[in-house]
Chains A and B, each alone.
Chain A
Amino acid sequence: MTPEVHIRCRGLEKRFRDKDVLRGVTLDVRAGETLVVLGGSGSGKSVLLKHMNALLTPDAGSVEVEGVVLGSCREDELARIRRNVAMLFQQAALFDSLTVAENVAYPLREHHLCAEPELRDRVRTALDMVGLAGTETLMPSELSGGMRKRAALARALVLEPRAILYDEPTTGLDPVVAAKVNHLIRDLQRRLGLTGVVVTHDLGSAFFVADRIAFLHDGRIRFVGPPEEARASTDPHLHEFLTAA
């Protein structure tokens, strides 16, 4: 039986000024899997990720999330879809002027999803889940890099999404903290059954969290398959990427 596809990208093309960043990317993300998109710096990984929740619109091609074509959605429909496809940004993107608890509560307040007492419980639960209990009153500037990423993850999780897009989740973290984040990604997939798309050039992280790996090079997908097949791939660019590290 063919696994259910959660996010479907078809022939995505994107050009910024004089640079073709995506040149016909076709990729399926299966429900419940963690797909890692590998590629060098500037290969278009983050651009591809931002198409999956319509933060960017393609010049050509389409993205479907759970069967809904994003290009045909109005902004309010996109807002509803984005609540189910959360995103963890490379720089965490916590709101500087809000405390950790206010950051995590932001989407709940914005969508009026629950009353204040329940809201506080949900914020505490989300922070517990990422190992940040007791940091509610801290400002983002008081957190370390790893804590910022985990706080951002708590903010993404609080809406109980069905998929999470991770943009370079371990970049800039020391190996111990990076390992914690990798375990967290794996743990969330196992416990909550979340679909995950992880964009990274950190091979250790990629092979730890991936069910499948996609390799993006020069705006095109050169390989998609399980990690062990990636290691055995004869694609020269993927081979060079894996052996150079």
Chain B
Amino acid sequence: MIGSEALRTPEQGARAALPAGVVTFLDALGGITLLSGDAIRTAFRRPPEWRLVSEQLEQVGWRSLSIVNLTAVFTGMVLALQLGSYLSRFGAKMFVSRIVGVSLVREMGPVLTALMIGGRVGAGITAELGSMTVTDQVDAIRALGASPVRNLVVPRLLAVLIMLPVLTLIGDLVGVLGGLLIGVTELNLSAAFYINSLTQVLLLEDVFSGLGKSIFFAYFIAAIACYEGLAVTGGADGVGRATTRTVVAASITVLVSDFFLTKLFMIAT
């Protein structure tokens, strides 16, 4: 449901018997599925405006780089510090680089990057589309014979799908460097030993597992954010509520789906 149609009345009947929370959840799930289908059909029927996609690539990628790097470097550093302190008790601090590297690349890198992007980009998309919805700009696009899905949803979906794996890869690298910094300065490990030790255990499939997850996370974040933005009703208050819902829903979806995706990738490899 887009623009004015977001106000449509839910049908009565079986829905009326369900608890309101369940109806809201199913409504959102159905809405996100329909919007995703519409976006895929639209993207294949008529290619998106690449100018709009590149604007979003900059917005999602370049402008998120600092927050992703900051998160990654400190996560790598704190992991190395904690593990170094703990493993030193058993004389096993030489394993720090392996544990930090694998846990970052397989797990923490994709999840933390997705949570950062869910907060920064997801909230931004919902706020922007929500403001456009409540000021009739989305209806204006339709009234001019154009498609809000093609002009607003597809570029954002594509940009997040492209940039989240790229940011994850950069975050992985920066996180490992953070760990290396602590390994050298606090744990008295040599840089060469740290890197050699890591490359002995880190496989390409570890990297692909993390990147694979990030593609799913990207879809969840962008689809939730676009749906919530286009389904906003009311004024600024409605935009605020929708933005909060996006951050909460995107974060929960990332964390819950991470478990199932991890199982899936374990079976697949």
Contacts and interface: CB of A to CB of B under 8 A. Distances in A.
Interface of A: 15-17, 50, 53, 55-57, 59, 75, 79-80, 82-83, 86-87, 89-91, 93-96, 106-107, 110-111, 152, 155, 159
A93 B135 contact: yes
Contacts of B135: 91, 93, 96
A95 B137 contact: yes
Contacts of B131: 96
A55 B144 contact: no
B5 interface: yes
B145 A107 contact: yes
A101 to B, nearest CB: 15
Contact of A89 (B7, B139, B151): B139
Q: Which of B131, B145, B147 has the most CB of A within 10 A?
A: B145
Contact of A57 (B5, B136, B142): B5
B145 A110 contact: yes
B143 interface: yes
Contacts of B142: 55, 82
Given A50-B139, A90-B136, A82 B144 contact: yes
8 contacts: A16-B9, A55-B143, A82-B145, A83-B145, A89-B136, A89-B139, A96-B137, A106-B146
Residue of B5, B132, B144 with highest tally of chain A CB at under 10 A: B144
Which residue, of B7, B9, B131, has the highest number of chain A Cβ atoms within 10 A?
B9
B139 A75 contact: no
Among all A-B residue pairs, the 10 with the closest Cβ atoms: A93-B140, A93-B136, A79-B145, A83-B145, A87-B143, A107-B144, A89-B136, A110-B146, A82-B145, A55-B4
A55 B145 contact: no
B139 A106 contact: no
Given A50-B4, A91-B135, A111 B140 contact: no
B9 A82 contact: no
A55 B5 CA distance: 7
Interface of B: 3-5, 7-9, 131-132, 135-137, 139-140, 142-147, 151
Nearest to A84: B145
B146 to A, nearest CB: 4
Given A91-B135, A95-B137, A17 B144 contact: no
A53 B136 contact: no
Nearest to B5: A56
B111 to A, nearest CB: 32
A75 B104 CA distance: 46
Contacts of B145: 79-80, 82-83, 107, 110-111, 159
A83 B141 CA distance: 11
Contacts of A56: 4-5
A53 B9 CA distance: 20
B73 to A, nearest CB: 33
A87 B132 CA distance: 16
A237 to B, nearest CB: 26
